[in-house]
Structures are given as structure tokens and as C-alpha cells.
């Protein structure tokens, strides 16, 4: 396949030859300090090709999109070699002139020991262009296909960028060009800081934050923002190089007074339950269109682009499962696969539980069956290149709900959604005026309901005495086990139980992420089950009382005090 290399050292005549009728340097290629990139509309003549000048590589899709990648260090702490510095689509500028669209805060600030960035560009055959950016242990690609208004991207790294401890690609678009984005992360109109400089309040008491744009990984394929005539989207790949599993949540969008920011997370440390993965090409595509929702993106041509970490489907395998037994009707089941290099997931059929994955990298994986978000069965499975690994029917063996209970609050499914405020916690701060009071009356199992009477979250400094009342007849007195499930805990919080006059020991601190969680839109952690064996001598005929208190050796106040998210609480009879 024909390849022509363009580097900073090549003569300008080569750039002119590759231009193919695009014309020379135009007004929008002027020096960055002139801030000309803020222009709303720019005259554009499209002809597919790649050109360069002293500052930029300019790529024209030939279909209405022309963008520039910075080649040199401009000496700015908001602009870096490798950044996208301009994106003009159908004559409208979609790039903030003062900041780059880039990985993290710029390619020259990814690794503490590395500031040098190399930026090269090449045509591949007659229909493709590739720009390669290298900084330390990270390589990033921009690619285009003739006649398609997409910027195809891939990011490969063998160690985590250590200046921020994360890897994410951020698109920065003037908000006047794309005014419409997700409401929970639209900061326009906010008047106060609620928490930590990244959660804000509206005059009416509602809250907004970039964190509240989150969705479970398995629930989204694209993010974006629109105007009445255009849309810019990021369409993701199968997310195999990320960490956290199918239910991981992290920020996606943010709208400010100046920009729409689209954020594609490759590795993110906040609320992370797994080690980071390396050595895999993380691919994603920026799609420019008329504002309609984007469909699937064909990236099969990546096989001809010589990309680090890329593995074609022909070198992969799939897993096919015969079914899952022991499922609960009406509950969705997900089958996840994870090892040190990659992660995958697929939905189980709601009728018989059979499943089949997409193309996976060869290797041995831990396969986990999730009842909604709660792990209920695991086994090991090996995937071979070009092969189908068949899995016999999987029996669920670890569903707490399979054991009959005297009473139960909530559903054992790894989520607090059915509890008080549980339907709101992912897209607003706990202090939001739309939340019901977190301090609820005592819960009577005979008359109370979980959705209105049992708070989804409990904090040491907010609502730290959760009282549950239940009645026993004389024939019911016996040995019982109280079970308390939490989906995540912040700052080492765990429940200590008291039943009438009996007080449990303090459980060991849970292994959970150390970052904020309950206030930034995620209840997804490591799912802890606490059990307390209650002797018959401590129970009485008539009313009995359970008191749950959050305990922790750590401090903190208000909604940043130690706390946890409930999954379910129940009482079961021991043999």
C-alpha cells in the first residue's frame, strides 16, 4: 500500500503537491495569537487532502470538514503539539481558539519525565490520512477517510500518563456553535459552588456538574452536543481497554458559559474498582453531522493503518453460552468478561439466558453473571483466535434473594434505585432540592415502602440512625441472620447493627475506591454483604427493632462524611 510521509523537515513544495487544489494557507491558518479561530463561519473549499505549514497539519475530508493538528510547541499551557486547533465543518468553527482538543491537558504534559512531542502525518493509499502523535509511552492517532466527515481516533499507551493519573480525550467546542447538551451537566446559570469546585448550584436549588452526565458503560454508544443544524458526537468502540466493567460510570459531557466539552474516558481513577489496562488500542470517532443521532461507525479500515495495539476481528474469538438457570423473572442479566488486558460484556436473553459476545482478544477470562449489577455466578473461560468457545448452561449460585426472608427491604440487584432517592442519585447532588429528605421516619416492615421510606444512602453526619421495626409471633422466635448489602462505601464506612439490646461487633473496613462516589453520581463499587447472627434470646414476641449506624475511623462532614449506598436489607431464619 502506497504511503507518503510528511514531517516537519519536509519541503513546502511537498505540501503543495499533496494539496491537490485545496489552495494555500488561508485566513483561518493565521498565527494562534491572533485568535482568529473564534470566527463563527469561515469560507471553505473542500478537496480531500493533507497539507502542512510551519504550525499545522491541515486535513480536508473532501466532504465539508477541515481540521488542523498543531505540529509545533506554541509555548502555551493550554495548547500543545498534537492538539486539534481548528475544526471547520460546513463553514462553522467548532474548536475553541484558546484551548486545544487533546488528551488530558495536552500531549506535552502527559508524563512527568517527558515534554517532547512528535507529530507526523501521512497519506495511506489514495483514500486515507493518518496523523500520529507520540508523547512518552502514549501514541495517539487521528485518521480520516475520503468523503466522510469523521475524525477517527485511537489512543495506545503502555503506562498510565502520570501527571494526572488518567487518560481521556477532551473535545472543546464553542458553546455558541453547539448550544444543546445534557441538562445535568450544563453549568450555565449556576450561581454557587456546592462541592469541590466541580459541583454547582442553580438559584432554584437544583445542582449541575460534569459528573452528572455519567451513564453506565453498557448503556451508551455515543455522546455529543447539537445546534439546530449540526451535531458533533463521539462514538466509542467496545471499550475493551477501559476498566471498571459494564456498570462503570464517569463524566462524559460538560457545558460551560464558553464551551461544550465532550470527554471520552480511556482510563479514569475516580470510583475505579479495577487496575488500569494497557497495551490495547482505545478507538473512538468524532462524527460531524446534521444533529441526528449517529449510527454505528465502520472502522474495519484500521486493519490497513498500521496502528499499535490494534487487533482485527479475524484474530479474535467469541463466547457463546447455552443459558443461565436460576434467574429471577423481570430482572436483566449481564454477562461480563475480564482479565488484565481487556474487558467485555453482553446481555443475556430474557427468556432462557443464552448469550453470545462480540469479537474478543484471545486469552483466559473470568466470566461473571450479573443480576442487574450484582455478581451472582462466576467461572473461567478461554477464548481462542478464530474460534467459538461454547459455555454450558450456567447455574446461579450466589443470589442472596434465593433464600426466603422474614422481611426484605429493596432488591438484591447491586443497585439502590428502588430505594428513597435512588432514582435520582446518578444525576444530581444529594443536597439538590428535588431530593426527598434523607432523614426518614422509622421503617415499619409491615406498612412502609422502600421507595418512600428507606433512604438509598446513609452518611455518618447526615442520617446516621436507620431504624427498622418488625413484629414476631411466639412461634417465630428463633435464631436469625440480619443481612445488609451495600454497593459502595465512602471513606471506610460500614454498617454496625443493633437488634433490641444486642450490639454487633464493628465489621472490618471494606475494600472500596478512595475517591468521592456518593456525591458525584455513582453508587457502583465492590458490593459488600454484611451478616449478623442474632440469637433467639435477643428477640421478643411483638415489636423488635433493628438500628443500623454507619461507622468509620475517618472524618468528614455532611455529604462528604463516611457513608454507603444500600443494596438491600433482610432478615432470614437460620436452621
Q: Which residues pair with 355 in a beta bridge?
A: 321
Third-level CATH fold of 3-179+223-244+273-304: Beta-galactosidase; Chain A, domain 5 (2.70.98)
CATH 2.40.30.30 fits 313-395, yes or no: no
Q: What is the pLDDT of residue 24?
A: 31
The CATH superfamily assigned to 400-573 is Galactose-binding domain-like (2.60.120.260)
Per DSSP, the chain holds a count of helices (H) and strands (E) of: 2, 39
DSSP helix/strand/coil, 355: strand
Q: What is the pLDDT of residue 45?
A: 56
Instruction: Collect the ranges in the chain with pLDDT lower than 70.
Output: 1-46
Whether 396 and 416 have beta carbons less than 8 Å apart is answered as no
Which helix (H) or strand (E) element contains residue 468?
A: strand 466-472
Q: What are the residue ranges of helices labelled H in 296-341?
A: none
If we measure between CA atoms, which residue out of 273, 391, 379, 377 comes closest to residue 333?
Answer: 377
Taking the C-alpha atoms of residue 217 and residue 459, their distance in angstroms, rounded to an integer, is 27
Residues making up the chain, counted from first to last: 575
Q: What is the pLDDT of residue 77?
A: 79
> Residues with Cβ < 8 Å from 158, sequence gap 6 or more?
137, 278, 279
Give the DSSP per-residue string, 349-412. Answer: PTTT--EE---B-SEEEEEEEEETTEEEEEEEEEE-TT-EEEEPPEEP---GGGS--SEEEE-S
How many other CB atoms are found less than 10 A from the CB of residue 467? 14
Cβ density class 522-542: b for 16+ within 10 Å, e for less = bbbbebbebebebeeebbeee
- Could you say which DSSP state residue 484 is in? E
Q: What is the pLDDT of residue 12?
A: 32
Q: What is the pLDDT of residue 244?
A: 96
Domain ranges of the chain: 3-179+223-244+273-304, 313-395, 400-573
Taking the C-alpha atoms of residue 209 and residue 431, their distance in angstroms, rounded to an integer, is 13
Alpha-carbon distances, residue 303 vs 133, 298, 300 (angstroms)? 19, 12, 6
End-to-end CA distance of the chain: 72
Report pTM.
0.91
Amino acid at each position: 500500500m502506497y504511503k507518503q510521509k510528511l514531517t516537519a523537515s519536509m519541503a513546502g513544495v511537498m505540501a503543495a503537491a499533496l494539496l491537490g487544489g485545496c489552495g494555500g494557507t488561508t485566513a483561518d491558518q493565521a498565527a494562534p495569537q491572533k485568535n482568529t479561530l473564534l470566527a463563527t463561519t469561515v469560507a471553505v473549499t473542500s478537496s480531500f487532502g493533507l497539507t502542512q505549514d510551519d504550525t499545522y497539519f491541515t486535513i480536508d475530508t473532501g466532504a465539508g470538514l477541515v481540521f488542523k493538528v498543531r505540529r509545533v510547541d506554541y509555548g502555551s499551557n493550554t495548547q500543545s503539539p498534537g492538539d486539534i486547533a481548528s475544526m471547520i465543518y460546513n463553514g462553522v468553527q467548532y474548536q475553541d481558539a484558546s484551548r486545544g482538543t487533546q488528551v488530558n491537558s495536552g500531549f506535552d504534559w502527559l508524563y512527568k519525565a517527558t515534554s517532547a512531542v512528535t507529530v507526523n502525518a501521512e497519506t495511506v493509499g489514495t483514500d486515507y490520512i493518518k496523523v500520529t502523535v507520540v508523547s512518552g509511552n502514549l501514541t495517539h492517532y487521528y485518521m480520516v477517510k475520503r468523503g466522510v466527515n469523521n475524525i477517527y481516533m485511537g489512543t495506545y499507551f503502555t503506562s498510565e500518563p502520570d501527571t494526572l493519573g488518567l487518560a481521556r480525550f477532551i473535545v472543546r467546542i464553542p458553546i455558541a456553535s453547539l448550544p444543546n447538551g445534557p441538562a445535568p451537566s450544563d453549568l450555565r446559570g449556576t450561581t454557587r459552588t456546592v462541592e469541590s469546585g466541580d459541583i454547582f448550584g442553580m438559584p432554584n436549588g437544583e445542582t449541575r456538574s460534569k459528573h452528572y452526565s455519567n451513564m453506565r458503560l453498557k448503556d451508551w454508544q455515543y455522546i455529543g452536543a447539537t445546534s439546530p443544524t449540526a451535531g458533533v458526537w463521539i462514538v466509542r468502540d467496545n471499550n475493551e481497554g477501559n476498566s471498571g466493567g459494564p456498570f462503570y460510570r464517569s463524566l462524559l459531557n460538560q457545558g460551560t458559559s464558553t464551551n461544550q466539552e465532550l470527554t471520552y474516558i480511556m482510563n479514569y481513577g475516580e470510583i475505579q474498582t479495577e487496575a488500569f489496562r494497557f497495551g490495547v488500542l482505545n478507538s473512538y470517532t468524532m462524527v460531524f453531522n446534521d444533529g441526528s443521532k449517529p449510527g454505528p461507525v465502520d472502522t474495519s479500515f484500521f486493519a490497513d493503518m498500521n496502528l499499535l495495539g490494534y487487533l482485527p476481528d479475524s484474530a479474535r474469538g467469541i463466547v457463546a453460552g447455552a443459558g443461565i438457570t436460576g434467574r429471577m423473572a423481570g430482572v436483566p442479566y449481564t454477562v461480563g468478561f475480564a482479565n488484565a488486558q481487556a474487558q467485555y460484556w453482553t446481555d443475556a436473553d430474557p427468556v432462557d439466558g443464552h448469550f453470545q459476545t462480540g469479537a474478543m482478544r484471545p486469552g483466559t477470562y473470568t466470566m461473571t453473571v450479573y443480576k442487574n449489577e450484582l455478581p451472582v455466578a462466576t467461572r473461567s473461560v478461554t477464548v481462542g483466535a478464530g474460534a467459538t468457545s461454547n459455555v454450558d448452561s450456567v447455574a446461579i449460585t450466589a443470589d442472596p434473594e434465593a433464600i426466603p426472608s422474614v422481611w426484605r427491604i429493596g432488591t438484591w440487584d447491586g443497585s439502590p434505585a428502588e430505594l428513597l432517592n435512588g432514582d435520582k442519585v446518578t444525576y444530581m447532588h444529594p443536597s439538590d432540592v428535588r431530593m426527598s429528605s434523607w432523614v426518614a421516619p422509622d421503617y415499619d416492615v409491615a406498612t412502609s415502602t422502600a421507595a418512600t421510606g428507606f433512604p438509598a444512602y446513609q452518611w455518618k453526619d447526615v442520617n446516621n440512625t436507620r431504624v427498622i421495626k418488625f413484629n414476631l409471633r411466639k412461634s417465630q422466635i428463633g435464631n436469625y441472620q440480619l443481612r445488609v448489602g451495600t454497593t459502595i462505601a465512602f471513606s471506610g464506612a460500614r454498617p454496625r447493627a443493633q437488634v433490641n439490646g444486642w450490639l454487633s461487633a464493628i465489621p472490618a473496613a471494606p475494600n472500596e475506591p478512595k475517591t468521592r462516589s456518593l456525591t458525584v453520581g455513582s453508587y457502583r463499587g465492590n458490593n459488600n454483604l454484611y451478616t449478623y447472627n442474632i440469637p433467639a434470646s435477643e428477640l421478643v414476641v411483638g415489636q423488635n427493632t433493628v438500628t443500623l449506624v454507619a461507622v468509620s475511623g475517618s472524618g468528614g462532614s455532611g455529604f462528604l462524611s463516611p457513608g454507603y449506598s444500600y443494596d438491600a436489607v433482610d432478615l432470614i431464619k437460620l436452621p
